[in-house]
Structure 1
Amino acid sequence: MFARSLQQSQRLVLAPLLVGLIALGGVTPVAAKRSAGEPAVAIDPVRLGEQQTQLYRVGALITASRGPCADILAIVTLPLDCPWQSVRVVNEDFSPEVADVAYRDLPGGGVRQMMVSIPRLPAGVEARALVTCEVTIHLVNPPEEAAAALLSIPRRPPTALKRFVGPSPMIEARNSRLRRLAESVLADAESVGKEPDDWGRVEALYEHVLSTIDYAEGPDTSALTTLDDGIADCHGRSALFVGLCRAIGVPARLVWVHDHCYPEFWLERATGGDEFGGEWFPAESAGTPAFGGMPIARTVLQRGDSFRVPERPRERLRYASDYLTGRPLPGGGKPRVKYVREIVEE
């Protein structure tokens, strides 16, 4: 049985559900190292600003309210380590019904998940699997003008980033309308004064989205729907900006944070000689504009907008949502779940 501390997980004895997942290469024990799935280029330390720390609790409360059930597998998204955010587990709260816990990263990176196995849950009993993380977040400053001028749109994106230049759920990157709009915006930018550098070209796309798409709370919309409606929330604005970036070959994706999402884009920079590296740059999609930096400390949950989850093989997901499976025992029903995702006030 899993020891109650994740730090003492040297001898995990995994329940059948998790054993099967490991056999398929879909899950790694808690102590295993993660793979980022993309070029490992650290953010320029000069661009890291003020540091803030939050306690963030995630998990699931699972109840056999309809009668006894078994073979429960709960999947919960955890805060994500990234160049400007570090995550440390500081407290675990697992009820006795929880047999095993393991972590995994989805292929390609961008999502960290906790896998919770409950072999049997008696009628009326609530199982608890909660993890509190200490999340240290740096504000991110945009690059200096001289440094930004050296960045360029990659002629050939690294293999691991090619999925961020094509279409994904709700981002119709290959649609001709987006391509024509992006070209029109860049042509307008070049007609007023000197021709912009690649940083300026991406910034022109960003400014066009913010100036032409009104902000309003509402349902998530795709890039094309946002373009048609002329109004959207943070998701719609982000999707349109990402779609325009991809239409001209700039790798871009969504970043999902607590109660919000925003876009980020990738530009290439020379690292010496004939070698090139690159970096992701965030942009704010609501409130005060911020291009190339992030002035607000938010807990990052996922980076990306096209995920494959082993338990849902036929679906391509823009967000790897929390997930629960379980089977009713005779006289019982399927379990009910309440997911927990909250900032903990100290």
Structure 2
Amino acid sequence: MTRRACLRSLVGSGTGAFVVAGSVLPIGSVFGQEGATNAAGENAAQSQLDASPVAATQIDLTVPQTTRWRLGVNIDTPVTFTSGLATFPVFMDWPEQTVSIKDRTVDGRVGNVAVRELDGARQVVVAIPRLTSGGSIQVELEMEVVRQPIVAPTETDNLIVPARLPREMRAYMGNSPMIDSSHPSIRALSRELAGDAPESDWEKVRQIYDVVRDKVRYQEGPIRDASDALKAGVGDCEDMTSLFVALCRNAGIPARMVWIPGHCYPEFYLEPKDAKPERGELAGNWYPCQAAGTEQFGGMLEARPVLQKGDRFRVPEQRTPVRYVAEFFRCDRQGSKAPRVEFIRKPV
């Protein structure tokens, strides 16, 4: 996959005082001066970073793969700056993976470090009140991720699209950035597919999957809306995933993007026909598929960890929803030169 604007680090110059908006857990007390650790704070932050945002799954998970990753930000500056803010996404628990922190490094000149919860993503938020010319800071986490491949179900006739979507599922319907589900060409193709009347909802999704892979040939290039990928007949993993998600949503099937290092793929949601969920709970499962690459439908053999799930994130630093939660930095600098910012995400 080519390096996209939505995946790039966003480096700019801001104005005004530093403010952290949204839901955050302060972990400044967790990372003491020069890397010393407060035990009570560590337990609180570890619990927050390890908490799973979704209900237990019935998907068959086997053969776990364990990897370690370094994530963080290093900044050195030739000019004094104030009101610095750096954010970067980190791995989080999902039904198919568990995450734990194995090591961390936090420079003592950092004002505060917090974890911000978004719906489907998690960020580390680093506040730097002031850094003088020639100064540098380092914030790094070493995370261990245990990911289990997902085996596709063998019995699918009883899996259906929910008749009534829970509130939390509404984010996975309608339009998202680059996923123009309501575009006339998407709607026309969706009506055409509906006319074939598949035998089950599982087969309905399978039909969408096959059509995407039939109509769009894999080719790297500039990022496209789902409708543009359909028109061009070419696209990479992002474009093909966007088209699959757009067609599912237009057909009333909840779907979303799954982001892993260097790649993305879609998931769709179905539940058992006789399910009777408790109020506010989900009765079904999210099922992955590989829109681009080796055919995989309903299961996923993938060792790379999940970074985030979704495609319409509301990030306080961005004025409009974004499809991917990228790294971000801003500050008020005193001079014409800019701080040098390096975001880190690499396997150990």
| TM band (smaller chain) | 0.7 to 0.9
Q: Equivalences for 1:9-158 in 2 at 5 Å?
A: 20-21=19-20, 25-30=22-27, 31=44, 40-44=54-58, 47-65=60-78, 67-106=79-118, 109-144=119-154, 146=155, 148-158=156-166
**Displacement of 1:220:** 2.2
Question: What is the identity, as a one-letter code, of the residue corresponding to 1:43?
Answer: T
Match of 2:324 among 297, 319, 323: 319
**CA gap 1:272/1:184 in 2 versus in 1, 3 angstroms:** closer
Q: Which residue of 2 aligns with 1:9?
A: none
- Whether the 8 Å contact between 2:70 and 2:346 is mirrored in structure 1 is yes
| Residues 171 and 240, structure 1, Cα contact 8 Å, conserved in 2 | yes
Paired position in structure 2 for 1:300: 306
| Structure 1 residue 328 corresponds to structure 2 residue 325 | no
Whole-angstrom CA distance in 1 between matches of 2:91 and 2:240 = 23
The 1:40–1:124 alpha-carbon spacing in structure 2 relative to 1, beyond 3 Å, is: closer
- Taking structure 1 as reference, are residues 35 and 340 closer, same or farther at Cα in structure 2, changes over 3 Å only? closer
Number of residue equivalences: 313
Q: TM-score, normalised by structure 1?
A: 0.84
Q: Tell me the CA shift for residue 197 of structure 1.
A: 0.5
Tell me if structure 2 keeps the 8 A contact 1:34–1:105.
Answer: no
Q: Distance in 2 between matches of 1:251 and 1:123?
A: 50
Corresponding residue of 2:218: 215
Q: For residue 30 of structure 2, what is the aligned residue in structure 1?
A: none
1:291 to 274, 293, 297: 297
Q: Is the 8 A contact 1:268 1:279 kept in 2?
A: yes
CA deviations 1:89-144 (Å, max 9, x no partner) are 111122232232110111xx201000112222221222111111001100001111
Deviation at 1:187, TM superposition (A): 2.8
1:129 aligned counterpart, secondary structure = strand
Q: Answer yes or no: is the 8 Å Cα contact 2:241–2:292 preserved in 1.
A: no
Alignment CA distance shift 1:39-1:174 (3 Å) = farther
**TM-aligned CA distance change 1:272 to 1:252, over 3 Å:** closer
Shift of 1:316: 1.2
Cα RMSD (Å) = 2.5
Provide the rounded CA distance (Å) in 1 between the counterparts of 2:65 and 2:199: 35
Contact 1:26-1:310 within 8 A present in 2 as well: no
Question: Tell me, what secondary structure is at the counterpart of 1:300?
Answer: coil
Equivalent position of 1:5 in the other structure: none
TM-score scaled to structure 2, two decimals?
0.83
Unaligned runs of 5+ in 1: 1-16
The DSSP-based 3-state class of the residue aligned with 1:27 is strand
Q: Tell me the CA shift for residue 27 of structure 1.
A: 1.6
Task: Give, in angstroms, the shift of residue 85 of structure 1.
Answer: 0.9
In the alignment, what sits opposite 2:206?
Answer: 203
Q: Output the CA distance in 1 between the equivalents of 2:74 and 2:54.
A: 36
CA contact (8 A) 2:22 2:116 kept: no
Answer yes or no: is the 8 Å Cα contact 1:271–1:277 preserved in 2: no
Q: Residues of 2 paired with 1:237 and 1:274: CA distance? A: 32
Equivalent runs, 1:176-191 vs 2, <5 Å: 176-188=184-196, 190=197
In the aligned structure 1, how far is the partner of 2:157 from the partner of 2:106? 51
Contact 2:242-2:257 within 8 A present in 1 as well: yes
Q: Percent identity?
A: 37
State the AA in 2 paired with 1:44: Q
CA distance in 1, matches of 2:236, 2:80: 42
Aligned to 2:346: 342
Displacement of 1:183 = 2.5
Structure 2 gaps of 5+ residues are 1-16, 28-43
Cα deviation, residue 176, structure 1: 2.8
After the TM superposition, which residues 133-282 of structure 1 pair with which residues of structure 2 at under 5 Å, given as runs? 133-144=143-154, 146=155, 148-188=156-196, 190=197, 195-270=198-273, 272=275, 277-282=283-288
Aligned mates of 2:168, 2:256 — CA distance in 1 = 13
